[in-house]
Amino acid sequence: MSQTKEHTRRTVFISVRTKLLAIFTLLFLLAFSGVFLWFYNFATELAMQNLRHDLLATAMTAASAIDGDEFVRLYESGQMDDATYTAIAESLREVKRTNPKAAGIYTYLQVPGEEEQVRFVVSAALPPGVEPSARDVALSQERLSGCQIPPASRPEMGEPYGIADGLSPTMLNGIQEAGVETEILPDQWGEWLSGYAPITNAAGESVGAVGVDMCAADVIQLQENIRRTILPVLVVTLLLLAGLVFAVARGITQPIIHLTRAADRIGQGDYNQDLSTLHAGRLRDEVATLAEVFEIMVAMVRGREEKLKEQVARLQIIIDEAKRQKQVADITESDFFYDLQQKARTLRSRKREGEEPQS
C-alpha cells in the first residue's frame, strides 16, 4: 500500500527554462504555420484569379471572332478542312499565337437529344497539308511553361465527348454562358485549367462554345517555389527564435536557479550565502526583491537559531543541575545515609565527652 502511494506521489521535474522554450516555440510554430498557409493560399488564389481572367478573356475573344451561323452550317453540311473549317481554325490559331499559354483551343456544340455529351467541331491544330507559320513552328518547338499539346493533335469533326471522357458541368454549361473550371486537371501533356465561352448566331442565340485549355504550370510552379523558399526560411527563423528564447529564458531563470540552490544550502544549515549579486544592479525586478527578502529571512532564521541554541544550552544546564540535585536527594534521603548520619553524630558526641569509641 505504501509503495502504491509512493508511486502515485512521484512527479516529473520540468525546469522553467524548458517550459518557456516549449511554450514560445509552440507559439512561434503556430504563428509561422498560420502565416505560411495564409501566404500560400493568398498567392495561389491570386495566381489562379489572374489565370481565370486571362482564360475567360481568351475564350470570349476566340468566340466573338466566330460567325455562329457559319459554325452551324459547317457542322451540318461542311467537311473537315474545307474553307469554313480552315477559316475558323486559323482564327483560333491567331488567338493561340497571342497567348502561348492557351495551348489547346477548340469549338464544340450540343446535338439535340444528347444531353450528356457534346461534339467537337473545329480545333486550332494545324490541318494536314497546311504549312505552319514561323510563329507556329516556334510554338511547336517550345515547351511553354511545362505544357505542350502536339500541333497535329486534334479531334475529328463531330467526335463525341461525354461524361466518361471528362465532360464537366462547366463545359456543358459553357454553351450558354462563359465559365472557368474550378480545379486544375493534369494529363500527359501538362497541367491545365479550362475555360469556355458561347458562340452566338446573328439572332444572339447560343449555338456552340469555344473551349480553351490554358497551361497552369505557372501556378503549380509558384506553389513549389513558395514551399521551396518560404519553408526553409520559416524553419531557420523558427530555430533562431528558439535559440533567442532559450537565451532569454536562461537569463530570466538563472537568478531563480541561483536562489533555489542557495535556499537548498540554507535548508541544510549553511547560512553563509551571498545573494547580493541578485539585487546589486540598478535595474530591479521581482527576483531582486525576493533575494533581498530572502536575505532578511535568512538573517532572522539565523538569529532565532542562535538564540534557540543559547536557550537549549541554558536549559541543558538547568536539566543537569536538576539531575544533580535529584541524585543528592536520592542519596541523602536514603536509610543508609540516615544511619551514617546517626553514627557520625554518636562519634562526635563521644569525642566531646572524651570517651573512647567502642569497637
Q: Over the stretch 160-186, which tens digit does the pLDDT of each residue have?
A: 999 888 899 999 999 999 999 988 887
Kindly state whether residue 323 falls inside one of the protein's structural domains: yes
| Contact by Cβ (8 Å): 75, 121 | yes
Give me the helix-helix angle, 286-332 and 217-267, nearest 10°: 30
Kindly state whether residue 294 falls inside one of the protein's structural domains: yes
Same domain, yes or no: 37 and 146: yes
Say yes or no to pLDDT of 251 above 90. Answer: no
Say yes or no to pLDDT of 5 above 60. Answer: no
What are residue 200's phi and psi, to 5 degrees? Answer: -115, 155
Domain boundary among the residues 205, 225, 245 is at: 225
Greatest Cα-to-Cα distance within the chain, rounded to the nearest angstrom:
180
Note the pLDDT tens digit of each residue in 32-60: 888 888 988 898 888 889 889 999 999 99
Instruction: Give the pLDDT band (50/70/90) at residue 220.
Output: confident
Say yes or no to pLDDT of 264 above 90. Answer: no
328-359 as b/e: b if 16+ CB within 10 A: eeeeeeeeeeeeeeeeeeeeeeeeeeeeeeee
Domain boundary among the residues 204, 225, 246 is at: 225
Same domain, yes or no: 29 and 118: yes
Average pLDDT, integer, range 336-352: 70
Instruction: Between 256 and 93, name the one with better pLDDT.
Output: 93
pTM of the model: 0.61
| Contact by Cβ (8 Å): 179, 196 | yes
Percentage, residues of the chain above pLDDT 90: 20
Residue 139 Cα distances to 32, 145, 154, 263, 325, angstroms: 42, 12, 16, 81, 125
| Contact by Cβ (8 Å): 222, 44 | yes
Kindly state whether residue 246 falls inside one of the protein's structural domains: no
Kindly state whether residue 109 falls inside one of the protein's structural domains: yes
Kindly state whether residue 13 falls inside one of the protein's structural domains: no
Instruction: Between 96 and 5, name the one with better pLDDT.
Output: 96
Same domain, yes or no: 146 and 219: yes
Same domain, yes or no: 220 and 305: no
Say yes or no to pLDDT of 96 above 90. Answer: no
Instruction: Between 200 and 155, name the one with better pLDDT.
Output: 200
pLDDT at 109: 94
Same domain, yes or no: 207 and 293: no
Kindly state whether residue 67 falls inside one of the protein's structural domains: yes
Same domain, yes or no: 179 and 82: yes
Kindly state whether residue 2 falls inside one of the protein's structural domains: no
Say yes or no to pLDDT of 344 above 60. Answer: yes
Same domain, yes or no: 166 and 315: no
Burial of 30 (0-12, 13-18, 19+ CB in 10 A): exposed
Q: 339: domain range?
A: 286-349
Say yes or no to pLDDT of 359 above 70. Answer: no
pLDDT at 130: 62
Domain boundary among the residues 225, 242, 269 is at: 225
Same domain, yes or no: 217 and 301: no
Instruction: Between 148 and 80, name the one with better pLDDT.
Output: 80
Same domain, yes or no: 175 and 61: yes
Q: Give the count of domains, the chain.
A: 2
- Helices (DSSP H) in the chain: which residue ranges? 2-8, 16-64, 68-77, 83-98, 134-141, 169-173, 217-267, 286-332, 335-353
82-91, 222-231, 260-269, 333-342: the lowest-pLDDT one:
333-342
Say yes or no to pLDDT of 141 above 60. Answer: no
Note the pLDDT tens digit of each residue in 126-135: 766 666 666 6
Instruction: Give the pLDDT band (50/70/90) at residue 333.
Output: low
Average confidence score pLDDT of the chain: 79
* Integer Cα distance of 215 and 61 in angstroms: 18
Same domain, yes or no: 161 and 298: no
- CATH number of the domain residue 116 falls in: 3.30.450.20
Average pLDDT, integer, range 103-116: 89
Same domain, yes or no: 149 and 293: no
Average pLDDT, integer, range 60-73: 93
Same domain, yes or no: 207 and 332: no
DSSP 196-255: EEEEE-TTS-EEEEEEEEEE-HHHHHHHHHHHHHHHHHHHHHHHHHHHHHHHHHHHHHHH
Kindly state whether residue 328 falls inside one of the protein's structural domains: yes
Average pLDDT, integer, range 56-77: 92
Average pLDDT, integer, range 197-209: 93
Instruction: Between 118 and 221, name the one with better pLDDT.
Output: 118
